[in-house]
Structure 1
Amino acid sequence: MRTDHYKLMYDFVSWAGEQSHIAGIALVGPCADDENEEAGELTFLLLSDKKSKTIDAILHQFHFEEMEQVTKEDRGSLVTIRISYASGLEVEFGVADEAWLQVPIEQAAGDAFMQGFKVIWEREALFEEIGRYIERRLLE
């Protein structure tokens, strides 16, 4: 993982751990592999019982660098925001509620989990179903 990724991850997890509406954080995709120096962007999956509040907090309270561009995509139970920072660092924050974990995993999300998945922090064992999904796919 690149040095700038570590810095943002540390700052973000420190900040997010103080937010009562965030229940868990995981890295998804190639950035979840500590050995992968080439991963171009960080992709976080956050579990929150207040998705809108979490997204607003990321955009207005989490200060890392100046934001150059922000895009938002609402996929129902999962909302993603992609932020391009002034240094060129790109980060995707996927915010879902716990109910999202109870529905079958979509192909695109499943493919991203297979590229890498690492739980960074959680209040309780919330990401277990994703771990079971990865284990089942590895056995196929």
Structure 2
Amino acid sequence: MHHNDQPVGTALSPERIAEIDEVIDRITRWAEDRKDVVGLLLVGSCARNAARPDSDIDLVLLTTDESRYLAEGWARELGLGELIRTQSWGPITERRHSTASGLEVEFGIGSPTWAKTDPVDPGTHRVVTEGARSLHDPAGVLAGLLAAC
């Protein structure tokens, strides 16, 4: 389900909807070509089809090689724009980028253990239940998490 399925009156322009969808599709295709990426999860307002004009794209990237994504090259390869913030949130490291249009793309980068289900971490549970859509899940790690939540 794409963002054109939003309720009427959200004031998200067709151009912004197209941009959000294009960025999500580009990142999903990129993730599918990476053997170390074991999960890509869209979370937040975009996953709920409730994005507003000031919304960002929130993604959780689960990888067996976290250090690779704490460097810059991969984000440039994706055309994500300028890195505007890096912050650690325990098991996840946030990397927030701003594209040329001002659209912000936030990656929460972590290991596959972020998605453990026995038990589900309270923070992970909150992120998932507030809106989550699996974009890339070759081993079913995210399917198990979504089912547990």
In the superposition, the TM-score normalised over structure 1's length comes to 0.79
8 Å Cα contact 1:84-1:90 kept in structure 2: yes
For residues 3-52 of structure 1, the C-alpha deviation after alignment (integer angstroms, 9 at most, x for no partner) is 2110101111112221222111110112102x424270111111100011
Specify every segment of 5 or more residues in structure 2 that has no aligned partner in the other structure, as ranges: 4-16
Specify the alignment match of 1:137 in structure 2: none
Q: Residues 1-140 of structure 1: matches in 2 within 5 Å?
A: 1=3, 2-33=17-48, 35-38=49-52, 40-56=55-71, 57-64=73-80, 66-67=81-82, 69-102=83-116, 104-134=119-149
8 Å Cα contact 1:29-1:114 kept in structure 2: no
After superposition, the Cα gap between the structure-2 partners of 1:16 and 1:55, relative to the gap in structure 1 and judged at 3 Å, is farther
In the superposition, the TM-score normalised over structure 2's length comes to 0.75
User: How many correspondences in the alignment?
Assistant: 131
Tell me by how many angstroms 1:133 deviates: 3.6
8 Å Cα contact 1:25-1:44 kept in structure 2: yes
SS in 2 for 1:94: strand
8 Å Cα contact 2:115-2:124 kept in structure 1: no
Answer with 118-127 or 38-47: which moved more: 38-47
RMSD: 2.2
| Percent of residue pairs bearing the same amino acid type | 20
The list of structure 1 runs, each at least 4 consecutive aligned residues, that deviate by more than 6 angstroms after superposition, is: none
SS in 2 for 1:19: coil
